[in-house]
Structure 1
Amino acid sequence: MIFVVQRHRATTLHYDLRLEVDGVLASWALPKEPTTDPRVKRLAVQVDDHELDHADYQDENKSTWDRGTYDNLTEPDAAGAIAAGHIKVRLHGSRLDGVYALTRTSMNGDPRNWIIVKVADPQV
Structure 2
Amino acid sequence: MPAKLKTYRAKREFSRTPEPAGGVAAEGGNRFVIHKHHATADHYDLRLELGGVLKSWAVPRGPSLNPADKRLAVETEDHPVEYLDFEGVIPEGEYGGGPMIVWDTGTWAPMDDVEKSLRTGAFKFRLAGQKLNGGWMLTRLKPKPGEDEHKKNWLLFKERDLASDTKRDILSERPESVKSGRRIEELAAPPGRRERLPPKPGSLKPGALPGAVKAAPPARIEPQLATQVPKPPGGDDPAGRTGELWLHEIKFDGYRTMAHVADGEVRLITRGGIDWTKRYGDLPQAFSRLPV
TM over 0.5: yes
Shift of 1:33: 2.0
Q: Tell me what 2:141 maps to.
A: 105
**Structure 1 unaligned residues grouped into runs of 5+:** none
Instruction: Output the aligned Cα RMSD.
Output: 1.6
| 1:14-53 equivalences in 2 (<5 Å) | 14-53=43-82
SS of 1:106's partner is: coil
Deviation at 1:3, TM superposition (A): 0.8
Q: Which residue, 94, 100, 107 being the options, matches 1:62?
A: 100
Output the amino acid matched with 1:84. Answer: T
- Measured in 1, the distance between the counterparts of 2:117 and 2:106 equals 20
* Structure 2 CA distance for aligned equivalents of residues 16 and 90 of structure 1: 17
TM-score (norm 1): 0.91
- Residue 32 of structure 1: SS of its match in structure 2? coil
Higher strand share: 1
Specify the structure having the higher radius of gyration (Cα): 2
- Asked if 1:89 corresponds to 2:125, the answer is yes
Shift of 1:36: 0.7
Deviates more, 1:1-10 or 1:83-92: 83-92
More helix by share: 2
Alignment-mate amino acid for residue 57 of structure 2 = W
**How many angstroms does 1:107 deviate by?**
5.2
What is the total number of aligned residue pairs between the two structures?
122
Q: Normalised by the size of structure 2, how large is the TM-score? A: 0.40
- Which gives a bigger RCO, structure 1 or 2 (Cα 8 Å, sep 6+)? 1
Query: Cα distance, 1:80 vs. partner?
Result: 3.5
* Off by >6 Å, runs of 4+ in structure 1: none
Change (3 A) 1:29 1:67: same
Once the 2 structures are TM-superposed, how far is the Cα of residue 58 of structure 1 from its aligned partner? 1.1
- Report if aligned partners of 1:21, 1:79 keep a CA contact under 8 Å in 2: no
1:120 paired to 2:164? no
Please give the per-residue CA displacement for 1:33-64, whole angstroms capped at 9, x wherever unaligned.
21111111100000011111111111131100
Deviation (angstroms), 1:91: 0.3
Cα distance between partner residues in 2 of 1:100 and 1:115: 10
With over 3 angstroms needed to count, the CA separation of the structure-2 counterparts of 1:120 and 1:107, relative to structure 1, is farther
